Amino acid sequence: MRYLPNSDADRAAMLRATGHESIEELFAQIPEELRLRGRLNLPGPLSEPEIREFFRQAASASARDYVSLLGAGAYSHFRPVVIDALISRGEFLTSYTPYQAEISQGNLQAMFEFQTLIVQLTGMEVANSSLYDGSTATSEAVLMALRVNSNGSGGRRNRIVWARTLHPEYRQVVETYVRHLGVELHELGYTESGQIDLRELDSALNDANDASAAVVVQSPNFFGAVERTREIAEITHKHGAMLIVSVAEPLSLALVKPPSEADIVCGEAQSFGVPVAFGGPYVGFLATRDKFIRQMPGRLVGQAHDTEGRRGFVLTLATREQHIRREKATSNICTSQSLFALAATIYLCLLGKKGLRMLAEHNLAKAHYAAGQLRSVPGVLTPFTGPHFNEFVVRAPGDAGDLLEALREEKIIGGLNLERFYPELKNHLLVCVTETVSKSTIDRMTEVYRQFAAGFGRSGGDSELQAAPAGHDR
């Protein structure tokens, strides 16, 4: 929309309509000492070519020419241009979902296809049509488990056992959700593999006298390690609790066996065609078994046939407070992320099963190549022994903050300093390698590590550096 300033004639007409002689009279109610006298200190007008050049220079000040090895729940993947071309169409990019939902058959079909794809990826039986993001999806899964899993006396189990390797910010959101619900949160530590301790899990559930409603784990977890979900499910179900598996990097589901033993699989679908955008908006998902469908939060789109036998789509369930009484609602989330669910649907359909698996294999190979290259640097350690996908932990050969700064000088954002969330992991970095990171960048990063290690005089025989991270076996 072009900006067309008011002419003198326009201003005179408006003053006549308001019954004022001048602009000063119009604003007479503003105290004199608060009025600006003179012009603002702004540059003069620019021509269109000058405006384009101004914003080109402003954009060049951003970090677009940096390579990012940050992951931790927000992953840089290539986004085909067709995604934005399609989701920007007026049929989809609307201000709000129509309250008579069945009018928008295109929107409903897109949501239905998203649900179908999530079911196929997770090995579950039914999925909703999106939630805000991975943290709220995990939180809603916890509330759902608390509703579903009641004991025989009619009381509700009020204990949640969760892994310390669940995304720290997901845990913060869950804590906010259950703060005033009388829910006890019990934390599980991690072993030298970077995975949860199965014996500790069994003991925690046994000590609670089967009062636990659910066990919550993330796989791949925050350290990038793939959890043993089958064994976790066996232990969890033995004690009558539900298993919630949160997935922050859903691309892993194209390669790793889906956690179909779980009762709820939830997480973040940002990796599927949604840009990394300073924290959002993203798109969460939640999938479960048919028998829990009435307790599932969010919208559920179903396929139906009209009186003439034609296929159509309907809003089958919408147990949100916006649709039903607040005390009967399964969720207080009132906004759907359908637009980004559509982006994820387009992305998955573009790649297809084979393409998605090839991309996952490419991520796996690059991450393992990077880990191997870094391990070749004297003093650098990848402390966790468990299998990982495209993310892993590195122990720096010195101060992690200084190493990140050295990498930044080479225009590489080198990862997340884990001490921020795990004080016991001082000088440990979480590094993520996706298809956006080239082999030459990995080699260049390795050389920065090598020079940094040489500056500290580190060697592979340094016993302190070779030690396992303090507190890993809590």
Q: What is the mean pLDDT of residues 377-383?
A: 95
Q: What is the mean pLDDT of residues 69-80?
A: 95
Q: Using the predicted structure, report yes or no on whether residue 382 has a pLDDT greater than 70.
A: yes
pLDDT at residue 465, as a whole number: 37
pLDDT at residue 422, as a whole number: 97
Question: How does residue 96 score in pLDDT terms, banded at 50, 70 and 90?
Answer: low
The answer to whether the beta carbons of residues 348 and 274 sit under 8 Å apart is: no
The token pair at 403 is 């190493």
pLDDT at residue 320, as a whole number: 62
The token pair at 38 is 């003179």
List residues bridging with 214 in a β-sheet.
160, 242
List residues bridging with 299 in a β-sheet.
318
- Looking at per-residue pLDDT, the higher value among 140 and 95 belongs to 140
Out of 42-56, 140-154, 162-176, 334-348, give the one with best mean pLDDT: 162-176
Q: Using the predicted structure, report yes or no on whether residue 470 has a pLDDT greater than 50.
A: no
Q: What is the mean pLDDT of residues 30-45?
A: 88
Task: Choose the weakest-confidence range: 11-15, 59-63, 254-258, 323-327.
Answer: 323-327
**Residue 333 carries which side chain, given as an amino acid letter?**
I
Q: What is the mean pLDDT of residues 56-83?
A: 89
Q: What is the mean pLDDT of residues 174-186?
A: 94
Q: Using the predicted structure, report yes or no on whether residue 157 has a pLDDT greater than 90.
A: no
pLDDT at residue 165, as a whole number: 98
Q: What is the mean pLDDT of residues 46-61?
A: 87
Q: Compute CA distances 77 → 355, 359, 432, 436, whole Å.
A: 14, 10, 11, 6
Q: Using the predicted structure, report yes or no on whether residue 215 has a pLDDT greater than 70.
A: yes
Cis before 168? omega within 30: no
Residue the block writes with tokens 């921020």: 420
Q: Which of 129, 226, 140, 223 is nearest to 176 (CA)?
A: 140
Q: What is the mean pLDDT of residues 179-208?
A: 93
Q: Using the predicted structure, report yes or no on whether residue 399 has a pLDDT greater than 90.
A: yes
Q: What is the mean pLDDT of residues 287-295?
A: 95
pLDDT at residue 274, as a whole number: 96
Q: Using the predicted structure, report yes or no on whether residue 360 has a pLDDT greater than 60.
A: yes
Task: Choose the weakest-confidence range: 27-31, 163-167, 424-428.
Answer: 27-31
For 268-278, write each residue's pLDDT tens digit: 999 999 999 87
pLDDT at residue 58, as a whole number: 85
Q: Using the predicted structure, report yes or no on whether residue 318 has a pLDDT greater than 80.
A: no
Q: Rounded distance, CA 117 to CA 137, Å? A: 17
Q: For the chain, which domains are there?
A: 67-75+352-466 (3.90.1150.10), 81-348 (3.40.640.10)
Q: What is the mean pLDDT of residues 202-218?
A: 90
**How large a percentage of the chain has pLDDT more than 70?**
90
Q: Using the predicted structure, report yes or no on whether residue 203 has a pLDDT greater than 80.
A: yes
pLDDT at residue 20, as a whole number: 94
Q: Rounded distance, CA 211 to CA 157, Å? A: 5
H-only helix segments in 45-195: 48-60, 81-87, 105-122, 134-148, 168-178
pLDDT at residue 298, as a whole number: 86
- Looking at per-residue pLDDT, the higher value among 474 and 383 belongs to 383
Q: Compute CA distances 211 → 48, 144, 205, whole Å.
A: 67, 16, 8
**How large a percentage of the chain has pLDDT more than 90?**
71
Question: How does residue 209 score in pLDDT terms, banded at 50, 70 and 90?
Answer: confident
Q: Which of 315, 324, 332 is nearest to 132 (CA)?
A: 332
